């Protein structure tokens, strides 16, 4: 039987509590691009993935966080099926104690955007010379593209791919904004 150890619970709590806070404009942008990502949970994500294996992990920030943090925990059962279940259990633990927005903060705060840019505020200052709360939707779209694949969508290395992916996220944002209205 799987039991999350006390040290693991402390590790998770510390990582979330010490995460860089993300501004509301960014979390709203993210939730518009990935509708209901800040209100859904791992149960709905699991159901969605069973019916459609192409569902992106970004649909559930706490599940994404559990995927990132699970290898650092002291869990001995790592067989393929057990690993998947352990990840789900860790996601459920996280969701019972923290919000999807807090998980999103951890994900962006701990993400390495490459070129010595870790976290949302560093990438915002590096790319646009401004605070994250001052970003425009097109700029947030570029950060989402980098978040998806920092090497592939880097504007210095692959300017055309970066531009295309940024425009994709921007158009998804615009389309989903119209639907919400």
Residue 81 has pLDDT above 60, yes or no: no
DSSP characters for 127-164?
Answer: HHSS-GGG--HHHHHHHHHHHH-TTTT-TTT-HHHHHH
Decide if pLDDT at 133 tops 60: yes
Give the per-residue pLDDT at 1: 37
pTM summary value: 0.86
Looking at residue 2, its pLDDT comes to 54
Cβ-based neighbours of 94, under 8 Å, separated by 6 or more: 12, 16, 62, 65, 66, 103
Per-residue pLDDT at 86? 81
Helices (H) and strands (E) in the chain, counts: 9, 0
Maximum average pLDDT range among 30-44, 74-88, 106-120: 106-120
| pLDDT number for residue 55 | 63
pLDDT tens-digit profile of 19-78?
A: 999 999 999 999 999 887 888 677 776 777 777 777 665 678 988 898 888 888 876 555
């Amino acid at each position: 039987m799987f039991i999350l150890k006390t040290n693991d619970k402390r590790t998770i709590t510390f990582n979330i509590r010490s995460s860089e806070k993300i501004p509301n404009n960014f979390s709203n942008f993210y939730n518009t691009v990935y509708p209901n990502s800040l209100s859904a949970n791992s149960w709905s994500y699991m159901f969605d993935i069973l019916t459609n294996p192409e569902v992106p992990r970004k649909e559930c920030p706490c599940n994404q966080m559990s995927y990132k943090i699970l290898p650092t925990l002291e869990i001995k059962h790592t067989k393929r099926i057990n690993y998947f279940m352990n990840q789900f259990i860790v996601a459920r633990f996280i969701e019972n104690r923290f919000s999807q927005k807090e998980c999103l903060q951890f994900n962006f705060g701990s993400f390495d955007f490459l070129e010595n840019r870790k976290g949302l505020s560093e990438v915002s200052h590096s790319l646009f010379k401004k605070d994250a709360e001052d970003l425009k939707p097109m700029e947030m779209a570029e950060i989402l593209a980098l978040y998806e694949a920092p090497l592939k969508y880097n504007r210095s290395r692959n300017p055309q791919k970066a531009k295309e992916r940024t425009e994709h996220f921007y158009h998804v944002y615009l389309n989903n904004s119209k639907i919400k209205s």
